[in-house]
Chains A and B, each alone.
Chain A
Amino acid sequence: SFRRDKDDEDEGTNTVYQNLEKTAVLQETRTFNETPVNPRKCTQILTKILYLINQGEQLVPREATECFFAMTKLFQSKDVVLRRMVYLGIKELSSIAEDVIIVTSSLTKDMTGKEDLYRAAAIRALCSITDHTMLQAVERYMKQCIVDKNPAVSCAALVSSLRLANTAGDVVKRWANEAQEALTSENIMVQYHALGLLYHIRKTDRLAVSKLVNRLTRQALKSPYAVCMLIRIACKVVEEEDHSKGEVSDSPMCAFIEACLRHKSEMVIYEAAHAIVNMKNMNGRILAPAFSILQLFCSAPKHTLRFAAVRTLNKVAMTHPAAVTTCNLDLEGLITDSNRSIATLAITTLLKTGAESSVER
């Protein structure tokens, strides 16, 4: 009937992404050569290509290279969405296409230009095509961007630096001062990324890491993500320290982790509790509050909190059987949890603590 046909048609016209044919879509990139550029049309073609790749379609180097070169024509357009899609395309194709360095100057121009929306994303695209030899040329800009006032620009530069550190560690090491400055940022993500980069640069130097942690534990970091990271670094430092000097729990780093149990962010509280119960040689004074928090999480309405708590208790059931046994009643409540992962973890934990009586119940 007419009505039915119309419904079918509606379903069919819903999306241009159904039944896409790789060769047909690649043909469409010819449109990129037209002047003036039609931003709407070109954005859609580019989206189709990225969608196909995301669905698992493989491009051979020749196809990717042709597509990449066609895409470079789109730099003529000033349309923001199209430009951002070109950056995505560059990142996606840079590992398959050849001669991708051809876009270096366009990206460098965007990265140093006035438009903040371009700058942050251009940095990330640029660093995906930059190799060791070209890094020297953009080093000055990278350093400036790390300390840029715009948080998105700073984050993009920090995250990209961390990526580059794998292939050009010696160059990135020279950006430590800038990362240090970014660490004082008010923006929580900038602070987090700066700490990540700084730690990466210094991680082979035990003394430098120790100094960094000592300094940061005394100044309250604003970013909960950064605090979680700092807790992990502190744990590592404590584990590696010479234990003959005395009780671990007395170190200022442990005092910092313990203080994090009273943080306002749930993720930090949990990170701290998790760290404490997993650390070797912790004394009961610090262990007790950490276990109370896990116990509290066991009866939280949020699935993720209960899961996190029981997963942690499950892991430490061997090292702290007595402490976990005090949580047995809470764990028993989780045996029938609607979430199967939680129920399974609760059961295996109880089996480890050997509470046969509770299994009976």
Chain B
Amino acid sequence: IMEPTLLLIKGMCIMDNDGNRILAKYYDKNILPTVKEQKTFEKNLFNKTHRSDNEIIMLDGLTCVYKSNVDLFFYVLGSTMENELILLSVLNCLYDSISLILKKNVEKKAVLDNLEIVMLAFDEICDGGIILDADPSSVVKRVDLRNDDLPLGDQTVAQVLQSAREQFKWSILK
């Protein structure tokens, strides 16, 4: 019987299609305590999962649920005693939140272009191993705080030209 605790998540990770870490968080000091051990584990995990769409694997005493898209791999890790469906709900939240943040364009470049928001999403989904939120829309509401109305000074020349062109087009069509 498992000790009732809120500390369910052992780790969350996003890797690229070479198995390199883009972001990874480990929440249990007793599991994979050093970066070296973590990266070895990640390589191993990637090798065993990147060619299949099997959703779940047991590896090195951890249950890992996963999902991939284009060139990205998402993982959520828990103890082998953990309720797998809870882990899956966290994975789905992670994936769907990031998909919403990236406006469905879930690929490496987009993640890196929006890395600060993705980092904030990680932080809103899991706090030190506790599931903080599992609802993607509420996660996104709290992290995607980018202001789309750029002040003129921050726009690139290309953006200014583009909007001038738009305005011109509309003035002709009127």
Q: Which residues of the other chain, A, contact B31 by a CB distance below 8 angstroms? A: none
Query: Can you name the residue of chain A whose Cβ is closest to the Cβ of B21?
Result: A55
CB of A307 closer than 8 Å to a CB of B: yes
A341–B24 contact, CB under 8 A?
no
Task: Number of A interface residues at 8 Å Cβ cutoff, please give it.
Answer: 65
Query: What number of residue pairs across chains A and B have CB atoms under 8 A from each other?
Result: 143
Known: A81-B146, A267-B85. A303 touches B56 (CB 8 A): yes
Known: A196-B5, A199-B4. A304 touches B85 (CB 8 A): yes
The answer, among B4, B56, B146, for a CB contact under 8 Å with A233, is: B4
B6–A302 contact, CB under 8 A?
no
- A91-B123, A233-B4 given. 16 additional CB < 8 A pairs? A54-B25, A55-B21, A88-B119, A155-B133, A162-B130, A196-B6, A232-B3, A236-B3, A267-B85, A275-B1, A302-B55, A303-B56, A304-B65, A338-B54, A341-B56, A345-B58
CB of A225 closer than 8 Å to a CB of B: yes
CB of A143 closer than 8 Å to a CB of B: no
CB of B39 closer than 8 Å to a CB of A: yes
Q: Which residues of the other chain, A, contact B123 by a CB distance below 8 angstroms? A: 88, 91, 121
Q: Which residues of the other chain, A, contact B138 by a CB distance below 8 angstroms? A: 152
The answer, among B55, B112, B116, for a CB contact under 8 Å with A304, is: B55
A50–B119 contact, CB under 8 A?
yes
The answer, among A91, A232, A307, A338, for a CB contact under 8 Å with B84, is: A307
Q: In B88-147, which residues have CB < 8 Å from any A CB?
A: 88-89, 109, 112-113, 115-117, 119-120, 123, 127-128, 130-135, 138, 142-143, 145-146
B132–A189 contact, CB under 8 A?
yes
A85–B1 contact, CB under 8 A?
no
Q: What residues make up the interface of B, taking CB atoms closer than 8 Å to A? A: 1-6, 21, 23-25, 35, 38-39, 52, 54-58, 65, 80, 83-89, 109, 112-113, 115-117, 119-120, 123, 127-128, 130-135, 138, 142-143, 145-146, 154
Per DSSP, are chain B's interface residues mostly helix, strand or loop, or mixed? mixed
A311–B54 contact, CB under 8 A?
no
B146–A229 contact, CB under 8 A?
no
B2–A232 contact, CB under 8 A?
yes
A80–B83 contact, CB under 8 A?
no
B83–A267 contact, CB under 8 A?
yes
Q: In A33-67, which residues have CB < 8 Å from any B CB?
A: 40, 43-44, 46-47, 50-51, 54-56
A225–B86 contact, CB under 8 A?
yes
The answer, among B1, B23, B24, B54, for a CB contact under 8 Å with A303, is: B54
